[in-house]
Amino acid sequence: MTAESFIILLYILVLASYVGFELINKVPPTLHTPLMSGSNAISGITIVGAIIACNVLNYGAISKWLGMIALILATINVVGGYALTDRMLKMFKKK
Amino acid sequence: MTAESFIILLYILVLASYVGFELINKVPPTLHTPLMSGSNAISGITIVGAIIACNVLNYGAISKWLGMIALILATINVVGGYALTDRMLKMFKKK
Amino acid sequence: MNILIQIAYLAASILFIIGIKMLGRTSTARKGNFLSSLGMFIAIFATVIQVEAITLVDILICVIIGSALGLFIAFKVQMTKVPEMVALFNGFGGLASLTVALADFWLNTQEKGLQVDQITGISVAISILIGGVTFTGSLIAYLKLNGKVSGKAITFTGQHLINLLLLIAAVGVSVFALTDFSNPTFMIALAILSLVIGVLVVIPIGGADMPVVISLLNSYSGMAACATGFVLNNNVLIVAGALVGASGIILTQIMCKAMNRSLINVLLGGFGQTSGSGNQADGPEIAVKEVGVEEAAQIFDSVSSLIIVPGYGMAVAQAQHAIRELSELCEKRNINVRFAIHPVAGRMPGHMNVLLAEANISYDKLIEMDEINDDFANTDLVFVVGANDVVNPAAKTNPDSPIFGMPVLNVEKAQTVIVTKRSMGKGYAGIENELFGADNCLMLFGDAKQTITKLVGELKEL
Amino acid sequence: MNILIQIAYLAASILFIIGIKMLGRTSTARKGNFLSSLGMFIAIFATVIQVEAITLVDILICVIIGSALGLFIAFKVQMTKVPEMVALFNGFGGLASLTVALADFWLNTQEKGLQVDQITGISVAISILIGGVTFTGSLIAYLKLNGKVSGKAITFTGQHLINLLLLIAAVGVSVFALTDFSNPTFMIALAILSLVIGVLVVIPIGGADMPVVISLLNSYSGMAACATGFVLNNNVLIVAGALVGASGIILTQIMCKAMNRSLINVLLGGFGQTSGSGNQADGPEIAVKEVGVEEAAQIFDSVSSLIIVPGYGMAVAQAQHAIRELSELCEKRNINVRFAIHPVAGRMPGHMNVLLAEANISYDKLIEMDEINDDFANTDLVFVVGANDVVNPAAKTNPDSPIFGMPVLNVEKAQTVIVTKRSMGKGYAGIENELFGADNCLMLFGDAKQTITKLVGELKEL
Amino acid sequence: MKLGVLKESKEKEKRVALTPELVKQLIKKEFEILIEQGAGDESKFSDSDYIAAGASIASKSEICNTDVILKVNAPTLEEANLMKNGAISISLLYAYTQKELLEVFKTKQISAFAMDAVPRISRAQKMDALSSQANLAGYKSVIMAADALGKIFPLMMTAAGTITPAKVLIFGAGVAGLQAIATAKRLGAVVEVSDVRLETKEQVESLGGRFLVVEGADEVKTEGGYAKEVSAEFLAKQKKLVEDKIKDADIVITTALVIGKKSPLLVTEEMVKSMKSGSVIVDMAVESGGNCELSEFNKTVVKHGVTIIGESNLPALLPINASQLYATNISTLLLHLANKEGFKWEMEEDITKGALITHQGELVHEFTKSILSK
Amino acid sequence: MKLGVLKESKEKEKRVALTPELVKQLIKKEFEILIEQGAGDESKFSDSDYIAAGASIASKSEICNTDVILKVNAPTLEEANLMKNGAISISLLYAYTQKELLEVFKTKQISAFAMDAVPRISRAQKMDALSSQANLAGYKSVIMAADALGKIFPLMMTAAGTITPAKVLIFGAGVAGLQAIATAKRLGAVVEVSDVRLETKEQVESLGGRFLVVEGADEVKTEGGYAKEVSAEFLAKQKKLVEDKIKDADIVITTALVIGKKSPLLVTEEMVKSMKSGSVIVDMAVESGGNCELSEFNKTVVKHGVTIIGESNLPALLPINASQLYATNISTLLLHLANKEGFKWEMEEDITKGALITHQGELVHEFTKSILSK
Ligand SMILES: NC(=O)c1ccc[n+]([C@@H]2O[C@H](COP(=O)([O-])OP(=O)(O)OC[C@H]3O[C@@H](n4cnc5c(N)ncnc54)[C@H](OP(=O)(O)O)[C@@H]3O)[C@@H](O)[C@H]2O)c1
Ligand SMILES: NC(=O)c1ccc[n+]([C@@H]2O[C@H](COP(=O)([O-])OP(=O)(O)OC[C@H]3O[C@@H](n4cnc5c(N)ncnc54)[C@H](OP(=O)(O)O)[C@@H]3O)[C@@H](O)[C@H]2O)c1
Ligand SMILES: NC(=O)c1ccc[n+]([C@@H]2O[C@H](COP(=O)([O-])OP(=O)(O)OC[C@H]3O[C@@H](n4cnc5c(N)ncnc54)[C@H](O)[C@@H]3O)[C@@H](O)[C@H]2O)c1
Ligand SMILES: NC(=O)c1ccc[n+]([C@@H]2O[C@H](COP(=O)([O-])OP(=O)(O)OC[C@H]3O[C@@H](n4cnc5c(N)ncnc54)[C@H](O)[C@@H]3O)[C@@H](O)[C@H]2O)c1
């Protein structure tokens, strides 16, 4: 990775982190768990990495297997995470 | 500009704009003018562009003169803006 | 690209973010401004160390000239003229963006004879357009506030149509400029068009709305800087510009709300045309000055003595509890608060006493008319809550008035008077009250309870 | 890099931002979750269309297996077990990050025999370390909550020292790995070390603190994803990972506050050892959950029925006027508000009646204990203002208590109870109140009048 | 000029026309003041207080010999006969009830001002004794009723059960009625109010009372704020509405007066019978015939289990405050009409015109003439 | 089991031990109830109300023949003698003042419970007649004082001048004192309060009163919430502090009791003399000797220009509410001690132990013993 593209990625990291900090300020306790669960699902974004990994790697190689395991795990995280969050939130229907 | 570097700049633009939106939510009316003035000073960041412009350009050329005019204007904006904001804010020292 | 310089730019960006954040709170505003100026210094420094020695001199000269002018203006200007100075500075910023973009474009296309890519081209066009509008728009705002151009809204028919046509023209010119880079005419035409648009957009707006316009133009100048960033492929310009652009929009929105206008209205440039109060009363019309809750709150925030004058309207609105809250809040801010009780305020003897006692307002804050009447002259602010006849100066000055001879409270002697009532409706005696038209009197229309509750809310945020 | 794909990634990033923002409000949470899942779909879709046809099958198989497992767990799990499931999912996410980084590293260094640059190397190491810790840490949290591992804090001396040593070892191993890419041992060692650290860090933490731990690990897994983004030079991973990492930290902090702990405490991993409330009272200690004014306001905002229980503390604080304001505000928001008056609340018969009448609260809102006691079970929120003995369940459950046999208000039957008082101070009877430690009870510490005034302010802004 | 203050001779009267405080103020304006011995005793102002304020203590005949004789109630025939020719009398005269006295005034050329006839215009509010006294009466009516009731006013939720708040029903939201509402409300009662003037609704609500709207109430004519006589139809409707309410009332206070007429009958015997045993009625209009059929002048009676208080002179039961306010009223009027040199006799001025009843041997007051000639 | 309710025979007593409401509830629990004819008349409960509730009307002798005899006041000797051997009596006995009566109880093996001796523990609050009655007394004391005062309570700024608020000084912030504060405050008075227990300061302030802090007040010992006797030194200091305040007071209400002892003397003749003419004192401790030197038992007297109300039985002046609350108190106690089968006689249980005075021919109450043996 070049220093230049690294610095650009750093910009993105800093700004995104700042956005993350600002996003959450007052959350009612009832939403703590759903929020945690929902953002956990987002952290399953590694799935994109896993797919890319699976793609470029050669069959039979360790890396390929690792990639496929990663993909399964990430998919569980993403799909399970979103479904669970939604189930939880359904119960919050107001009034 | 390559599409790639453009996209990265776009990321930065989007994230920075989002940060800008989130930054301001409740501003007491007394701070409207100072805030306006202070962020106006920041928008004088064009000064960086002006310096870069001055640097690369050739003497005598129209672009050089334009760059120098830009530099003077931007400097007024920056220096005047910060100084004025500070003067204003000094008066807020409460009771 | 030197990595250290990039890191410096990143640091500057972070400082800008923190700076703006802190500018939004009274307690941290000054520090915020300092941090943001530090960021600016870092950004400039990181840029300057890259320049060739030979141009350093030119740059220094320009910077010194600019700084001197900037400081001179900043320190000489009277504090009452701040908004117009902000407008002026802002205009310079916009012009700088325009110039930088044009310079870069000129250099590449005219002097170096290069082709520029589409994205850069579009960025240049945006930079020029926004920069130009910002420049002349700000200039007009400056002149209006300064009184050099009429503060009134200058309108003519077809205004909006003309603006629209000009905008279409600008877009068209840009397209031509992008298709044929070698011909600079189009870019120059764009620059000129943008300057004209700036003038036309701001000219129809009344002086009272200028702060909103300036805030919006400020946001524009941020966007111009951002566009310049795309032209120069420079992150700090993009971040800082985007920050100012976005936060400026929000700030504009907040200011609009405080002035009771909608942002759409503002964005369309059609604001400033409806004027004044909507309350039409019959009889000889009294011209009154209306005040909003926010402004009223700021007046409360700035005084050190306050007399509250309750009347029958307080009883009707059942505003006594809200008033107690207001008075407690004021006392917490070291404002000396007293109540002036007129002997016939309300509709029965002791009407005000009953209600204020219910709201738990201590007896020693309630002062009889005879005792307090001489104190009004030394009082910063009188807040009249739903009283009318008992503060009507006609009782002293107009022998034909049915209340002539009745002793009244001399509220008009105070520095400022704020009256809250629902409308220009009359009191028990059914007569007009000239107090409401007095120079130092501001009307805060609305139901007393609701208005005071809102006032308390605003005051808490100051 | 295809620009359309990049734009899809950008769109996904924006959807994540909006999604998280909306998840923080009751009214928009579900929509927020949907938007964020939409973002995820876009990101996955944009990625999948790039893959070679030949691997598409593998990918689909993996995705189907993963989806099936995920959906199965998500829909089968009991709602009471949600936190542990979140922990498990989170662990998988962490492991996925570790695996992807390792795979990429393995491919480049072992299979392709390439050198990787330092930045990528560091990113890989970070990815592995954080991913590993997240995985085993989450697993332990899962097992603890599940009861498969003792929920108690498992501690031994030198724990912190060992953790520190392991961390140093991990750093050391990473340095070696970076200096000699051809040797995979170090990276594998790092992976193993990270797994061990994850176990050791979470093992000493008590079951009650697990939600905070999970939230923190969630934040970690975001960071791991972010690091993976650096490995793969992928923006959407960086943005999404950074978002989760940062917002997770804030959320953790909020949860800490709600549980009366400091974030430092949590970050050091030393939490869970000091237990219960900070208020050292003698006798059996009651662990309470504190709530801030803002959160309390949000709870008020989300309910449709409210019972206010005033006690002697309301009288001491003279909070009756503030309470009236609160109740009016709630009614304006269509919340059904009533007051439960315990016959001996206060210090004289009718103490509450006098004060509430003074504050002009209508008689028909005041309900006697006997009439309202059955309604608590159908009530969303009970707000206890400076009452203590009259809501003490010990009167019903503890025959040794001096107040045993006194009828009390069944506040604990309500969905949620918020109690406002200055401290864990006792009431007239001088006894502990277990209500304050109940699962559905939140303490809002402070002087009743001040707290409620603040609460009203917050509520107005929602 | 010499002013004289007579001791009140009416039964149960405890007020006095001037207090030491006001004596002091009038003496500053160079009036000479004689006070009858013991005049202030009942309202707790001793002779020595008056002397300290600058007045002299004198006998009745001496005082009747002064230029201006101040009283709360109208002078008796005896007092009038003692007065010198051409003297001036100021008091709550209620001239239209004093045919005989007016004859004496006429023959002796006495100029009589009636405090009760001072017009209710804004600048005369300080002289408005009707308001100042009615205000106190409104307060007192509630206190008396509260003392007579075997219950407490406020809602109280106690360990031994809940006490429901007392229900108070008030007829007439004039000055007295409004103060009664305020006082009953303060003590925690639930207050309902009936009045013929719909405009009082807002005023009643501003004090926390509930106004009972009679359909057709907008037809009632008012003049200068006073209710004129109302139609029989309206009264019938009002009665119907009230019949329901009165059954639950613990306390009924009636304040409905129509000036110069017999007061309207608002509470019939039937209604009293329908009330709960132990309830209390205060009839403030008892002097002009009463709003309640069963009330007896200056007596408290129990009929059908209901205590009916027919006290005609409630302000006199708060003599200290009542005298203070009356003294301010009367001396403000005096200072408006006269200075130490004598009276100004501006016969066309509103207040003089409104309050002067007899002058130079003639009955000059139109309203009084019109009533007496009926 | 048969319960009997006697008509109260004490002078000025208007209460009754059971109301129809409570009769209904007890009958649901299968008690049989006899009410003496006219027992509820004074508190507005008619015989027919009782009959409708399920009780029977009976003569005094019939009632004395029931198993449990309920009264407000202690039975008279005559009534006690009419009771059957082994009967049970419940009333506000104040046993330590009833030497003779206790002898009768002992000889007739009557078990007597004293409502005034029910311990003030949390679960007995519903039986606490002292509190329920003191509470009403506190309200009534203010209403009586307000009626007796020649002034109004609230501050009033009117066209005819400003009326300053009445100043009320209250001694003792027990149950009665606190309710007096609340009531006076509601009416708009300025209230100052003196008590020996510093802990009442917060309570007084919670009702808007001003607490007069006596230096050294922390030395006072209290037991179970009751003030024990205080040192002479403390009382001297308190006196000094109060002397200043009392001069300005319009109303003084004293509620200071020390159980089983003569009440402390708080308002001396000197102090009364220093008060303004027309002021009012209500001495609520008059039954046990009075807090005011000049108060007379059950009389209202005027001394040195000050009206001193020595009404010993204020709750009886609010008979409707007082009976309601007392009836709840007494029936709660009864249901605690007994069911339709009979009494449980759990002699070691707190409430039984606290309230039972004589049993099986013996005086079993320690506190009463200790006072009587002095
Ligand atoms: N005190 C007595 O004993 C007595 C007795 C009888 C008559 N009066 C007479 O009553 C008058 C009293 O004077 P005052 O100044 O107290 O009252 P006022 O002159 O009657 O004026 C009251 C004002 O309050 C406003 N108002 C009504 N409802 C309101 C609400 N909900 N929120 C805000 N404002 C409201 C009305 O204006 P909008 O409609 O524009 O809101 C009105 O102009 C005097 O003329 C006096 O002579 C007094
Ligand atoms: N009603 C009667 O007739 C009567 C008479 C005598 C005794 N009692 C007894 O009094 C008790 C009444 O119960 P209750 O629940 O009303 O009161 P409580 O049990 O005495 O509790 C009052 C609570 O209010 C809190 N508090 C005090 N000042 C406060 C302030 N400024 N802001 C917020 N909170 C404040 C205190 O906690 P912090 O210190 O932590 O803030 C205290 O725990 C019962 O035990 C009853 O038996 C009643
Ligand atoms: N100048 C001033 O500012 C001033 C001063 C004092 C009073 N006033 C006004 O004068 C008016 C009269 O006051 P007042 O106290 O002398 O009144 P009042 O004693 O003449 O009558 C008392 C009330 O009884 C009502 N009433 C009459 N017949 C009734 C019926 N059949 N049923 C129910 N109610 C009936 C009247 O409407 C009036 O409100 C009021 O409007 C008052 O506001 C004005
Ligand atoms: N179980 C319960 O919850 C419960 C119920 C009712 C009352 N109480 C408590 O019992 C206590 C006594 O109540 P009470 O009304 O029977 O009191 P009381 O009638 O015995 O005494 C009245 C007050 O007079 C005060 N006093 C005594 N000597 C005094 C002096 N020299 N000067 C000034 N004040 C003096 C006392 O301190 C007391 O406050 C109170 O603390 C009350 O809160 C508790």
Query: For position F118, which CATH number holds?
Result: 3.40.50.720
pLDDT per position as a tens digit, F313-329 = 999 999 999 999 999 99
Q: How far apart are the C-alpha atoms of F117 and F93, rounded to whole Å? A: 8
| Residues D318-342, mean pLDDT to the nearest whole number | 93
* Strand E32-36 relative to strand E56-58, pairing: parallel
Is residue F47 predicted with pLDDT exceeding 90?
yes
8 Å CB contact of E44 and F126: no
Judge if the beta carbon of residue D427 lies within 6 A of ligand 2: yes
ipTM: 0.72
Select the more confidently predicted residue: C121 or D269. C121
Task: Find which of C339, C348, C353, C406 to mutate to test the F interface (most F CBs within 10 Å of its CB).
Answer: C353
**Residue E340, pLDDT score:** 87
User: pLDDT confidence of C23, banded at 50, 70, 90?
Assistant: confident
Select the more confidently predicted residue: B5 or E283. E283
Q: Ligand 1 pocket test: which of E122, E123, E125 has the largest number of ligand atoms within 8 Å of its C-beta?
A: E125
On whether both E145 and E101 belong to a single domain, the answer is no
**Residue D274, pLDDT score:** 40
**Residue E57, pLDDT score:** 96
Q: How far apart are the C-alpha atoms of D193 and A57, rounded to whole Å? A: 26
Is residue C300 predicted with pLDDT exceeding 50?
yes
Q: How far apart are the C-alpha atoms of F184 and F179, rounded to whole Å? A: 9
pLDDT per position as a tens digit, D55-101 = 888 888 999 999 999 999 888 887 777 888 889 999 999 999 999 99
Q: What's the pTM value of the predicted model, to 2 decimals?
A: 0.75
E20 DSSP assignment: H
**Residue D109, pLDDT score:** 82
F308 DSSP assignment: E
- Nearest protein Cα to ligand 1, atom 31: C317
CB of D73 closer than 8 Å to CB of A80: yes
E256 DSSP assignment: -
The C-alpha angle D248, D26, D240, rounded to 5 degrees, equals: 30
8 Å CB contact of C3 and A11: no
Q: H helices of C107-262, where?
A: 118-146, 159-179, 185-202, 210-232, 235-258
8 Å CB contact of F158 and C363: no
Which structure tokens are listed for E326? 């009356």
CB of C123 closer than 8 Å to CB of C117: no
8 Å CB contact of E125 and C403: no
**Residue C276, pLDDT score:** 37
For the CA of D429, the closest atom of ligand 2 is 45
Number of neighbours of residue C71 by Cβ within 10 angstroms:
16
For the CA of C391, the closest atom of ligand 1 is 15
Q: Please choose, from the candidates D117, E225, A53, D436, the residue with its C-alpha nearest in 3D space to the C-alpha of residue C429.
A: E225
Which structure tokens are listed for F209? 């009163």
On whether both F336 and F364 belong to a single domain, the answer is yes
DSSP-derived 3-state class of residue F97: helix
- pLDDT tens-place values along chain E, 374 residues long: 899 999 999 999 999 999 999 999 999 999 999 999 999 999 999 999 999 999 999 999 999 999 999 999 999 999 999 999 999 999 999 999 999 999 999 999 999 999 999 999 988 999 999 999 999 999 999 999 999 999 999 999 999 999 999 999 999 999 999 999 999 999 999 999 999 888 899 999 999 999 998 776 556 666 655 566 667 787 788 888 889 899 999 999 999 887 778 888 899 999 999 999 999 999 999 988 899 999 999 999 999 999 999 999 999 999 999 999 999 999 999 999 999 889 999 999 999 999 999 999 999 999 999 988 87
Q: How far is CA E66 from the centre of its chain?
A: 27
Which residue is catalytic, options E128, E195, E250, E283? E128
Residue in D closest to E188 by C-alpha: D357
Which residue is catalytic, options C58, C380, C389, C447? C389
Q: Please choose, from the candidates F122, F56, F87, F137, the residue with its C-alpha nearest in 3D space to the C-alpha of residue F325.
A: F137
On whether both F248 and F101 belong to a single domain, the answer is no
Residue intervals of chain C classified under CATH 3.40.50.1220 are 293-461
**Residue E343, pLDDT score:** 94
| Residues D378-391, mean pLDDT to the nearest whole number | 94
On whether both E325 and E181 belong to a single domain, the answer is no
- Which ligand lies nearest to the CA atom of residue D388 in the structure? 2
Q: Which chains touch A (3 or more CB pairs under 8 A)?
A: B, C, D
A2 CB neighbours in chain C (<8 A) are none
Q: Give the Å distance between the CA of C313 and the centre of ligand 1.
A: 5
Pocket of ligand 1 (CB under 6 A): C 311-313, 316-317, 344-349, 351, 386-390, 420-423, 425-429, 447-448; E 122
Is residue C19 predicted with pLDDT exceeding 70?
yes
On whether both F139 and F17 belong to a single domain, the answer is no
Residue C310 phi/psi, 5° resolution?
Answer: -85, 150
pLDDT per position as a tens digit, F141-189 = 999 999 999 999 999 999 999 999 999 999 999 999 999 999 999 999 9
Q: Please choose, from the candidates F145, F139, F136, F137, the residue with its C-alpha nearest in 3D space to the C-alpha of residue F166.
A: F145
Residues of C with CB under 8 A from a CB of A: 1, 3, 6-7, 10, 13-14, 17, 235, 239
Of C1, C13, C14, nearest to A4 by CB-CB distance is C1
Residue in D closest to F133 by C-alpha: D349
For the CA of E224, the closest atom of ligand 3 is 10
Residues of E with CB under 8 A from a CB of C: 121-123, 125-126, 131-132, 135, 175, 178-179, 182, 186, 202-203, 205-207
Number of neighbours of residue E109 by Cβ within 10 angstroms:
16
On whether both E109 and E211 belong to a single domain, the answer is no
**Residue E187, pLDDT score:** 95
User: pLDDT confidence of C129, banded at 50, 70, 90?
Assistant: very high
Q: What is the tally of structural domains in chain F?
A: 2
C47-51, D24-28, D412-416, E118-122: lowest mean pLDDT where? D24-28
Physical contact, F and A (3 or more Cβ pairs within 8 A):
no
Task: Find which of A4, A9, A11, A19 to mutate to test the C interface (most C CBs within 10 Å of its CB).
Answer: A11
User: pLDDT confidence of D272, banded at 50, 70, 90?
Assistant: very low
User: pLDDT confidence of C164, banded at 50, 70, 90?
Assistant: confident
Number of neighbours of residue F340 by Cβ within 10 angstroms:
10
**Residue C318, pLDDT score:** 92
**Residue E220, pLDDT score:** 62
8 Å CB contact of A12 and B16: no
Of D344, D353, D360, nearest to E154 by CB-CB distance is D353
Q: How far apart are the C-alpha atoms of D30 and D22, rounded to whole Å? A: 8
Distant-in-sequence, close-in-space partners of C98: CB < 8 Å, separation ≥ 6? C127, C128, C131, C132, C135, C191, C194, C224
What does pLDDT average to over chain C?
Answer: 86
Tell me, yes or no, if E84 comes closer than 8 A to chain F by beta carbon: no
3-state secondary structure chain D: CCHHHHHHHHHHHHHHHHHHHHHCCCCCHHHHHHHHHHHHHHHHHHHHCCCCHHHHHHHHHHHHHHHHHHHHHHHHCCHHHHHHHHHHHHHHHHHHHHHHHHHHHHHHHHHCCCCCCHHHHHHHHHHHHHHHHHHHHHHHHHHHHHCCCCCCCCCCCCHHHHHHHHHHHHHHHHHHHHHCCCCCHHHHHHHHHHHHHHHHHHCCCCHHHHHHHHHHHHHHHHHHHHHHHHHHCCHHHHHHHHHHHHHHHHHHHHHHHHCCCCHHHHHCCCCCCCCCCCCCCCCCCCCCEECCHHHHHHHHHHCCEEEEEECHHHHHHCCHHHHHHHHHHHHHCCCEEEEEECCCCCCCCCHHHHHHHHCCCCHHHEEEHHHHCCCHHHCCEEEEECCCHHHCCHHHHCCCCCCCCCCCCCHHHCCEEEEEECCCCCCCCCCCCHHHHCCCEEEEECCHHHHHHHHHHHHHHC
Judge if the beta carbon of residue F256 lies within 6 A of ligand 4: yes
pLDDT per position as a tens digit, C278-296 = 333 344 567 788 888 877 8
8 Å CB contact of A19 and B18: yes
Residue in F closest to D319 by C-alpha: F206
**Residue C208, pLDDT score:** 67
Among F279, F294, F317, the domain-final residue is F317
Q: How far apart are the C-alpha atoms of C430 and D112, rounded to whole Å? A: 97
Judge if the beta carbon of residue F194 lies within 6 A of ligand 4: yes
Quickly list DSSP for B15-62.
Answer: HHHHHHHHH-S---GGGHHHHHHHHHHHHTTHHHHHHHHHHHSPTTSH
Residue E94 appears among annotated catalytic residues: no
Q: H helices of C147-209, where?
A: 159-179, 185-202
* Strand F190-194 relative to strand F210-212, pairing: parallel
Residue-range definition of the domain harbouring residue E121: 2-127+319-372
The C-alpha angle D419, D421, D427, rounded to 5 degrees, equals: 100
Domain C293-461 has CATH 3.40.50.1220: yes
8 Å CB contact of D403 and F131: no
On whether both E299 and E325 belong to a single domain, the answer is no
On whether both E351 and E231 belong to a single domain, the answer is no
Q: Give the Å distance between the CA of D81 and the centre of ligand 3.
A: 72
**Residue F112, pLDDT score:** 96
Judge if the beta carbon of residue D348 lies within 6 A of ligand 2: yes
8 Å CB contact of C318 and D457: no
**Residue D42, pLDDT score:** 93
On whether both F13 and F105 belong to a single domain, the answer is yes
**Residue E13, pLDDT score:** 95
The residues of F carrying an active-site annotation are: 120, 125, 128, 131, 226
Residue C213 phi/psi, 5° resolution?
Answer: -60, -45
Place of tokens 């207080």: E49
**Residue F30, pLDDT score:** 93
Physical contact, E and A (3 or more Cβ pairs within 8 A):
no
| Residues C375-392, mean pLDDT to the nearest whole number | 94
Q: Which chains touch B (3 or more CB pairs under 8 A)?
A: A, C, D
Tell me, yes or no, if B18 comes closer than 8 A to chain A by beta carbon: yes
Indicate the residue type of C368. Answer: E
| Residues C382-388, mean pLDDT to the nearest whole number | 96
Is residue C90 predicted with pLDDT exceeding 70?
yes
Residue F351 phi/psi, 5° resolution?
Answer: -70, -45
**Residue B16, pLDDT score:** 83
Select the more confidently predicted residue: B63 or F342. F342
The size of chain C, in residues, is 462
8 Å CB contact of C228 and B49: yes
A68-77, C39-48, C206-215, F60-69: lowest mean pLDDT where? C206-215
| Residues C219-240, mean pLDDT to the nearest whole number | 89
On whether both F146 and F281 belong to a single domain, the answer is yes
With b for 16 or more beta-carbon neighbours within 10 A and e for fewer, the C301-336 pattern comes to: bebebbbbbbbbbbbbbbbbbbbbbbbbbbeebebe
**Residue C281, pLDDT score:** 39
The number of C-alpha atoms within 13 Å of A69 and in the hemisphere containing its C-beta is 17
Residue E238 appears among annotated catalytic residues: no
For the CA of E176, the closest atom of ligand 3 is 15
Which structure tokens are listed for C91? 């205009």
Q: How far apart are the C-alpha atoms of F144 and F283, rounded to whole Å? A: 11
pLDDT per position as a tens digit, F12-37 = 999 999 999 999 999 999 999 999 99
Rounded to the nearest 10 degrees, how much is the dihedral formed by the CA atoms of F31, F36, F39, F40? 40
User: pLDDT confidence of F246, banded at 50, 70, 90?
Assistant: very high
* Strand F190-194 relative to strand E111-114, pairing: unpaired
Residue C389 appears among annotated catalytic residues: yes
| Residues C257-261, mean pLDDT to the nearest whole number | 66
Q: Ligand 3 pocket test: which of E120, E287, E350 has the largest number of ligand atoms within 8 Å of its C-beta?
A: E120
Inter-chain contacts counted by CB atoms under 8 A, chains C and E? 57
What does pLDDT average to over chain B?
Answer: 81
| Residues F251-273, mean pLDDT to the nearest whole number | 89
What does pLDDT average to over chain F?
Answer: 92
Tell me, yes or no, if E156 comes closer than 8 A to chain F by beta carbon: yes
Judge if the beta carbon of residue F31 lies within 6 A of ligand 4: no
Q: Give the Å distance between the CA of C386 and the centre of ligand 3.
A: 23
Indicate the residue type of F46. Answer: S
8 Å CB contact of D350 and E158: yes
